[in-house]
Structure 1
Amino acid sequence: MNRGKNLRLWLVLAIAVAIAGLLGWMRFAAPPAPQGNLAGASLGGPFTLTDQNGQSVREADFAGRYRLIYFGYGFCPDVCPTDLALLGRGLKAFEASDAARGARVAPIFITIDPQRDTPAALKPFVAAFHPRLVGLTGTPDQIAAVARAYGVYAKRMETGDPENYLMDHSAMVYLYGPDGKPIGFLPHQGLTAEAITQMLATHVR
């Protein structure tokens, strides 16, 4: 059973890398994603979840750092790995241009599929996109509460198979400030690594 799950996870990762490369190339000619303004929005808040190493992580642990947040799931066949690949590339470009400011950004992936995204499953998944990407999971109630607090839509698409199903969800890269308040977002449509780098360059001090 576990061996089968591991094989499926590695297959998803392999497909994700291929798709990310293809879509990343296709997006060079696409118009950049418009940056949304979230200043003053009542989004976010405290949480306690579990990271890819099995350690408890609180929202307060990121105090003083900007948070680049993405909600998705590890078994996502296309959108999530593509967006995370762009997030990783955009953050790396920002780090290369200004290491000090880059270090102030905490990249965070929060699953919307806690049933399958265990810490053990998240560890190789997040490592594929950025060495500092933190993967967070929790109980279904914990994840549902975080999704509501951050204004994220997520719904399991029932197929009758408890192991193989898709999740319908909103797909955006969010930027939160050192005080935990929302700054802005970039939608999946038209998302580029350059847009992420530019958003960080504009807001990170």
Structure 2
Amino acid sequence: MTLSRRHALLASLSLTTLAACDGQVFKSGDAPAHAPFKGIDITGATYARELHLTDMNGQPRTLADFKGKVVVVFFGYVQCPDVCPTTLAELAAVKQQLGEAGKDVQSIFVTVDPERDTPEILKAYMGSFGGSDFLALHGTPEETAAAAKEFKIFYAKVPGKTASSYTIDHTAGSYLFDRAGRVRVFSRYGAGPEALTADLKILLAEKAAA
């Protein structure tokens, strides 16, 4: 299977993974009338509630650190050839399109490749998309696995020609959190920046209720 076909499979797999959670099936268009999200409405989900990792500057981080902002969490890795840079570029474009409101959107990139993605590499990578507006988080292999399990993220190494030239297949999509720190939307890869912008505008307009 080619890399592009694997990524397409993972993009569809992400919906299947979410659909199996808590016995509920989430589909586009199933969002309640009060929140017509373009992405998959997962309001009330009992996963993606905790994140305990270290940022690229060496500071321990949790989701609670970002309450008051709308947060976008995306799992990937620096050497990802297409999905990751496309997603991050879209996030940067969306934040710019939102204008002043974009300052209330925090984008968080979680690496699933802690072996190669050092803090220095992550800092340089984030700088190419949004500088201080983007944060990258990393952890030990065990911490990374725990975070992926909490967010129901699939990832697996695909061997390359050498031991260090592997790629990583991973769930392609972003989690959106409201100002109160509650996960609300799963935005599938390939949905486009217009859909992401629309969903972020809904969350930005909501008050940070407890």
TM range (shorter): 0.7 to 0.9
Aligned to 2:92: 88
Aligned partner of 1:166 in structure 2 is 167
Checking the alignment, whether the CA contact within 8 Å between 1:44 and 1:180 is kept in structure 2 is no
C-alpha offsets along residues 51-81 of structure 1, whole Å, 9 cap, x if unaligned? 1222222222112222111111001011110
Residue type of the partner of 2:93?
R
8 Å Cα contact 2:159/2:165 also seen in 1: no
1:35-74 equivalence runs, <5 A: 35-74=39-78
| Consecutive unaligned residues in structure 2, runs of 5 or more | 1-36, 206-210
Deviation at 1:127, TM superposition (A): 1.2
**Secondary structure, counterpart of 1:42 in structure 2:** coil
Contact 2:111 2:136 in 1 (8 A): yes
Partner of residue 197, structure 2: 197
Does the residue aligned with 1:202 lie in a helix, a strand or coil? helix
> C-alpha separation between the residues in 2 aligned to 1:164 and 1:118?
16
Counterpart-to-counterpart distance in 1, 2:168 and 2:43: 28
Structure 1 counterpart of 2:153 = 152
TM-fit CA distance, 1:160: 6.3
| Residue aligning to 2:18 | none
* 8 Å contact from structure 1 (residues 51, 136) kept in 2: yes
Tell me, in whole angstroms, the C-alpha distance in 2 between the residues paired with 1:46 and 1:174: 12
Q: Matched residues in 1 for 2:169 and 2:115: separation?
A: 15
Deviations 1:98-133 (A, max 9, x none): x1x332221111111111111011011111111300
Distance in structure 2 (CA, Å) of the matches to 1:151 and 1:180:
18
RMSD (CA atoms): 1.8
Percentage identity across aligned positions? 35
Query: How many Å apart are 1:180 and its aligned residue?
Result: 2.3
Q: How many residues align?
A: 168
Runs of 4+ in 1 over 4 A off after TM superposition: none
